[in-house]
Amino acid sequence: MDARNYWNEYVDRCGGVKATAEKLATPYQTIASITSGHRGIGQRLVQRFVARDPSLDPNALIWIRAETKPA
């Protein structure tokens, strides 16, 4: 499973973007941007997420990058 699929399945398990944002104590827009591919997850955000939910795999999250969209 690639990192993006890992993240999307996690968001689904949490009950969607809003529930994930609440669970990880992170703004809705940040979670929505990661889920849509407009934003990646950096090291500090990985650490914050894992501190809120230890079941997350930091080694998978760190590979989530923003996806480049064709113009």
The answer to whether residue 51 is domain-embedded is: yes
71 in a structural domain: no
Number of domain units in the chain? 1
Confidence of residue 67 (pLDDT cuts 50, 70, 90): confident
Residue 28 sits in a domain of what CATH number? Answer: 1.10.260
pTM recorded for the entire structure: 0.89
Beta strand ranges found along 1-71 (DSSP E): none
Whether 18 is covered by a domain: the verdict is yes
8 within 8 A of 41, measured Cβ to Cβ: no
pLDDT exceeds cutoff 90 at 69: no
| 33 lies in some domain | yes
Q: Which two tokens stand for residue 30?
A: 């940040």
The whole-number pLDDT of residue 32 equals 96
Task: Quickly count: other Cβ atoms within 10 Å of residue 15's Cβ.
Answer: 11
Tokens of 69: 């969209």
In which domain, by residue range, is 42 found? 3-61
